[in-house]
Structure 1
Amino acid sequence: MGAAAPVMTLAAVDLGASTAVAGLAVALVGLGQVLGGIPSGQLVARLGERASTIWGTAVGLTGVLLCLLAPNVVVLCAGLLITGLSNAVWGLGRMTYLAEAVTLDRRARAMSLFGGAMRLGFFLGPLLGAGAILAVGIRGGFVVQFVAFLVAGWMLARVPLPAGALSEPIATAPISLLGVVHRHHLVLCTLGAGSLLMGAARASREVILPLWAHHIEIDAATASALFGLAAALELVFAYPAGHLMDRFGRVPVAVPSLTILSLSYLAVPLTYSTLTLGAVAVALGVGNGIGNGLIMVLGADIAPPGIRAEFLAAWRLTHDCGAFGGPLLLGVLAGAAPLAVAALTIGGVAALGAVVMGRYIPRHIPWPAQPLPQKVNS
């Protein structure tokens, strides 16, 4: 995905799309992920984790192939939407696997490292994509994505399943998404609201930084370097974040993460140079980095064992809706009001997320979640 992200807009423009249509085309990946999140829980529960991973790979490869060979913008948009659908199945499969495979005392470290590995992929992907672009043209990023998708699908299909994982189809009918929402509406409407707000706060940094850099006349290369610096800091904080969550609970990571994001967005209108915007980019990287794996950890903490896949599908949907809605809100505000208003609004969203997380995590996830083992004197 990291290799393809920089070329999605360029491919649409190369096929004759306007800037607005190109931006909409890229948003289709997020829309596909939201739409795919609706049936993904039943799919994993009905087919099993392994079969779902294989089908998700096949669908994703189809989407990437359409992007690679698209003769027009319509086919490109269809490919991007299909790729987003497959991401939803993959996301749920890996989340369910980790929830089953890792014990509670190591859960946060494992999931934070996993989140760090994903960010490493997004950091290295554009570098590999750049080489492919030089070799085959603008769509070289899709070539890297196709090969990576194929290899990753093959590897995931060979991963040993932990005890209790859904390796085979279940005999009973899975519960629907509406059924999960009805049964667990309290946690989804409270802690799930915090997940939605965090998704919006995280995704919006990818929009506000380049827009503000353009606003204060920073060139594209420098803006890209600032992005790289923020991404590097996110990787640095992956393991420390998990260690803190395993030792002290989820609140001491969730609230500072969103608070730092909020203060960073509120500071964006005060920046006027590369140095000042770079400081904000660093703060955004730190704020997002210490939240590495947090949503996966919270979902694994509260997922009922009997309907784990179906519940995690609903849980992921809260975050995905925020990740899709945050940049959309920014785009609307940027078109209707000064850009500073958009930055301040997202800062408010992040601050509200910090309040919601601080209020409802202890309610649904008491810490410590289980008695700690007693030391035995020799």
Structure 2
Amino acid sequence: MTTETPFRLRSVGVSAYGPSLLYGFSSGVIAPVIAISAIERGASIAVAGLVVSLMGIGSIISNIPAGVMTTRFGERRSMIWAAAINAAGLALCLGDVGLWLFSIGVLAQGMAGAVFQLARQSYLTEVVPLAMRARAMSTLGGMARIGAFIGPFAGAGLIKLYGLDSAYAASLVAILGAGAIAYTVPDLPSHTSAEDTSTWSITRGHWRVLATLGVGVLLLSAIRQTRQVVMPLWAQHLHLDPSTSSILFGVSGALEALVFYPAGLVMDRWGRRAVAVPCTLVMGLSFLAMPLTHGAVTLGVAATVMGIGNGIGSGIVNTLGADVAPAIGRPTFLGVWRELADGGAALGPVILSAVTALAGLASGIIVSGVVGFAAAAVLFRFVPRRDTIR
């Protein structure tokens, strides 16, 4: 008589989480210097901001093609190609290249990142049993956050010793390492079948879940992205020095990185709603509290609550996407799913900016907090019950 060996997350620790950690590090090490590099190549401050945004734009325009690509060629080959394209983009950022080539390199990194992230999500959905899916997804997000947290500190040291290009060189080494690990990942069964797995057919066949739960994910992503803008702006409004603002931001990020695994455990044991709703409510409340702060200590408290709120939602978008994705055409569906999430991430700061322009920063922050409450309401209504998840 044989007994089935229980699945353990550490069995996919290197193949799934190694690339996630390295990708997070790669992004984190260059994130603080992209604008500076653009200015050094002749960009104005406004143009430098646009160059930074190319990373997100690249992701938005590539999510759906990434799903089609992964459906057709599989997770392993998609990750390898994504790492190669990202490495090529980083190579364009090295050395004395002009602003146009540098911008193309940044855009390529955003596009490749979308493919790599989607392929990793699809890979984990396939190999991890349902009972551990949320822990797997939250750990995936947690590894990326740890890498992104370490990256700026490593980059600061390298830049001090070897100059600005060293940050891009370190990012390139990390991406090549992620690609090398992806090369060792075993191929999964093909996603192709006689059924139509085009983007249009998948979207049409699952429009209800995309128009309901997908909207909740869009709103969640909006408030998540806005939190990265709100705290530095309010710190400046309080006339705090940049170093204090950076410390508060770092503490918030550290807390996010600490709670990802407990969040996944809660989702696996008590359902996705047990994390999705508290995550959005806590972030919404922290936004409403922020205009009431008047110094570093009170702002630090609000930032701490915000970090915990976001941290307990680690992996929730990926987990919900895996829960509702069809077995046939899963990567294609996940491409549409990630498009909703990235669309929300782009929309959140726009809402903040528009309301701030009309009624001031405090009002913009309050409206953003209301977006969090709206996300909580939609997710409470449409997150699938635990017994219906397949």
Cα displacement string for residues 120-166 of structure 1 (whole angstroms, at most 9, x for unaligned residues): 001111111112211332233222211111101111221234xxx34
Map of 1:134 onto structure 2: 160
Pair 1:297 & 2:314 matched: no
Secondary structure class of the residue paired with 1:292: coil
1:122 is matched with 148
Q: Which moved more, 1:66-75 or 1:106-115?
A: 66-75
In 2, the alpha carbon distance for the partners of 1:250 and 1:353 equals 14
**1:257 pairs with one of 279, 294, 306:** 279
Establish whether residue 208 from structure 1 lines up as the match of residue 230 from structure 2: yes
C-alpha distance 217-312 of structure 1, shift in aligned 2 (>3 A):
same
Q: Does 1:4 align with 2:20?
A: no
Is the aligned partner of 1:28 residue 2:54? yes
**Partner of residue 196, structure 1:** 218
Query: Cα–Cα, structure 1 residues 336 and 16, in superposed 2: closer, same or farther, change >3 Å?
Result: farther
Task: Find the aligned partners of 2:358 and 2:57 in 1 and give their Cα distance.
Answer: 23
**Which aligned pairs between 1:103-122 and structure 2 lie closer than 5 A?**
103-122=129-148
Q: Describe the SS at the equivalent of 2:387.
A: coil
Q: 1:84 aligns with which of 110, 134, 146?
A: 110
- Separation in 2, partners of 1:334, 1:24: 20
1:224 maps to 246
Correspondence for 1:274: 296
Is residue 313 of structure 1 aligned with residue 331 of structure 2?
no
**Paired residue type of 1:241:** A
Q: 1:340 to 1:72 in 2, by over 3 A?
A: farther
Bigger drift between 273-282 and 152-161 goes to 152-161
Tell me, yes or no, if structure 1 residue 46 matches structure 2 residue 46. no
| Structure 1 residue 183 displacement after superposition | 1.3
Q: Which residue of 1 aligns with 2:350?
A: 328
Matched-pair contact (CA < 8 Å) for 2:141–2:314? yes
Deviation at 1:285, TM superposition (A): 0.5
Match of 1:344 among 366, 386, 389: 366
Give distance in 1, aligned partners of 2:348 and 2:167: 25
Number of residue equivalences: 364
SS of 1:228's equivalent in the other structure is helix
1:49-69 Cα deviation digits (max 9, x unpaired): 111111111111111111223
| Displacement of 1:368 | 2.9
Q: Secondary structure at the match of 1:246?
A: helix
Report the alpha carbon displacement of residue 196 of structure 1 after superposing the two structures with TM. 0.6
Q: Following TM superposition, by how much is the alpha carbon of 1:83 offset from its aligned partner in structure 2, in angstroms?
A: 0.7
Secondary structure in structure 1 of the residue aligned to 2:37: helix
Q: Does 1:355 align with 2:384?
A: no
Distance 2:35 2:95 in 1: 15
For the 8 Å contact 1:53–1:156, the answer to whether it is kept is: yes
Q: Which runs of 5+ in 1 are unaligned?
A: 372-378
Structure 2: distance between partners of 1:58 and 1:181: 29
Residue 301 of structure 2 aligns to which amino acid in structure 1? A
Unaligned 5+ runs, structure 2: 1-26
Counterpart mapping for 1:156-195 below 5 A? 156-161=182-187, 165-166=188-189, 170=192, 175-195=197-217
Identical counterparts, % of pairs: 42
Residue 171 of structure 1 deviates from its aligned partner by: 6.5
Cα distance, 1:291 vs. partner?
A: 0.2
Question: Which residue number corresponds to residue 155 of structure 1?
Answer: 181
TM-score normalised to structure 2 length = 0.89
Q: Is the 8 A contact 1:202 1:323 kept in 2?
A: yes
Asked whether 1:367 is paired with 2:386, we answer: yes
Matched, 1:59 2:85: yes
Distance 1:35 1:120 in 2: 26
Provide closer, same or farther for how the CA distance between residues 368 and 310 of structure 1 changes in structure 2, counting only shifts above 3 A. Answer: same
Q: CA RMSD in A?
A: 1.8
Structure 2 residue matching 1:304: 3-state secondary structure: coil
AA matched with 2:250: G
